[in-house]
Amino acid sequence: MCPAPVADESARGFIIPIGGGEDRVKEMQIHRRFVELSGGADADIVVIPTASMLEETGPDYNRIFSSLGAGKVEFLPISRRSDCNNPEFSEKLDNATGIFMTGGNQLRLSAILGGTLVVTKIRRRNAEGVPVAGTSAGASIMSEHMVAGGQGNESPAEGTVTLAPGIGLTNAVIIDQHFTQRNRLGRLLTASSFNPFLLGLGIDEDTAAFIGPDDMLEVIGSGTVTIVDASEMTHSSMWDAKPGQALSLLGLRLDVLGEGCRYDLKARVGYPPDDPVVYSAGPDTDA
pLDDT tens, residue by residue, 95-122: 999 999 999 999 999 999 999 999 999 9
What's the pLDDT tens digit per position in 232-257?
999 999 888 998 899 999 999 999 99
Which range of residues forms the domain containing residue 219?
Answer: 15-269
Q: Classify residue 4: in a domain, yes or no.
A: no
Which pLDDT band, with edges at 50, 70 and 90, does 287 fall under? very low
Asked if residues 135 and 18 have their Cβ atoms less than 8 Å apart, the reply is yes
7 pLDDT above the threshold of 90: no
154 in a structural domain: yes
How far are the Cα atoms of 14, 103, 176, 266, 280 from residue 17, in angstroms, in the given order?
A: 10, 11, 9, 18, 24
Q: Is the pLDDT of residue 279 over 80?
A: no
Looking at residue 269, its pLDDT comes to 95
In a domain, 71, yes or no: yes
User: How much is the pLDDT for 239?
Assistant: 87
pLDDT digits (tens, 9 = 90+) for 58-92: 999 999 999 999 999 999 999 999 999 999 999 99
Indicate which CATH number applies to the domain containing 179.
3.40.50.880
- Tell me the Ramachandran region of residue 221: left when phi exceeds 0, alpha when psi lies from -120 to 50, beta otherwise: left
Position 286 in a domain: no
C-alpha 125/C-alpha 95 separation (Å) is 9
Highest mean pLDDT among 123-132, 150-159, 278-287 belongs to 123-132
Residues designated as active site: 136, 154, 178
Residue 238 belongs to a domain: yes
First to last CA, the chain: 12
Residues of the chain above pLDDT 70, percent: 95
Q: Which residue, among 8, 58, 65, has the nearest Cα to 35 in the 3D structure? A: 65
pTM listed for this prediction? 0.92
What is the predicted pLDDT for the residue at 9? 73
Is there a domain that residue 9 lies in? no
Q: Answer whether 261's CB lies under 8 Å from 271's CB.
A: yes
Distance between CA atoms of 123 and 145, rounded to whole angstroms? Answer: 15
Is the confidence at residue 34, as pLDDT, over 70?
Answer: yes
Crossing angle of helices 57-67/29-37, nearest 10°? Answer: 70
Flag whether 153 is in a domain: yes
Question: Is 161 among the domain residues?
Answer: yes
Single-letter amino acid code for the residue at 85: N
- The contacts of residue 145 (CB under 8 Å, 6+ apart) are 163, 165, 166, 171, 174, 191, 194, 195, 198
d(C-alpha 285, C-alpha 98), whole Å: 25
**Amino acid at site 269:** V
Distance CA 222, CA 121 (A): 32
pLDDT at 187: 93
Q: How many domains does the chain have?
A: 1
Query: What pLDDT score does 1 carry?
Result: 61
